[in-house]
Amino acid sequence: MTDASSTSDTEGRFARADRILDAAADLLLHLGYRRVTVEDVAERAGIGKGTVYLHWKTRQDLFLAVLQREVVASLDELVEALRSDPATALLHRLTKIHFTNVLRRPLLRAVYTTDPEVLGKLAKALHDLQHPRHHEAFDDYLALLAKHDLLRTDLTVREISYAYHATLHGFLLTDSYNGGRTAEPTEHKADLLATTVQHAFEPTRPAPAKALRAVGPRAIELFAESADLDRTRLHSAYA
């Protein structure tokens, strides 16, 4: 039986860690990595500086945890969408949801665009920190689609992965560097990206329902596994 006081202490540490990350995320977004100190975060969170170091040994570890939490939240939303509708497993449908998630999470968007003003060198450090399976999951998902004839057959999975990421990053970067012009509304831009992905990487025929039923559960497993691996690493600092 779990001791009630032990459970309460654990919940208290998790709540405190989340409060610290909330404060760090807000400061990171508005001031940028180079300008935010641990003292700033502690003051915003209403705790002492030493308390921050009970959870994260370095300033970089703290801000990497902020970004990792954003990644986990986005993956959780993607998994929930897959569970709600099997058709989400189609590449263009999944892309629209993921793209919309990124656009409404400014810090996650900064990771994808490697925004130096916001993140400094954190984006690369985050990439190096994540579990290898996090980076393999998407290509495994593409291979799953290819196995069930839901991708074009004249390109390899590796070629599709390269071209797909170039397309996704291009859409994100174009809005970041649009020369001051008014950005396209998020919904329209997401639809345009989904249409581009559909025409570029998927067969012209409608997706068979049988293929979607086969792909859905495994796609959920792949992205849920990735989220859980990142979550485990993130929560190791909470205790």
Q: Compute the average pLDDT of residues 111-126.
A: 83
Burial class (CB in 10 A: 0-12, 13-18, 19+), 24: buried
Q: Mean of the pLDDT values across residues 62-71?
A: 94
pLDDT of residue 201: 98
Q: What is the pLDDT of residue 97?
A: 95
By CB atoms closer than 10 A (0-12, 13-18, 19+), residue 143 is middle
Q: Is a pLDDT exceeding 60 seen at residue 4?
A: no
Predicted structure pTM score: 0.87
| Terminal CA-CA length for the chain | 20
Q: Read off the pLDDT of each residue in 197-223 and give the average, rounded to a whole number.
A: 95
pLDDT at residue 180, rounded to an integer = 46
pLDDT at 6: 53
Residues 138-182: tens digit of each pLDDT: 999 999 999 999 999 999 999 999 999 999 999 988 865 454 444
Tell me the average pLDDT of the chain. Answer: 89
Lowest mean pLDDT across 5-14, 111-120, 154-163: 5-14
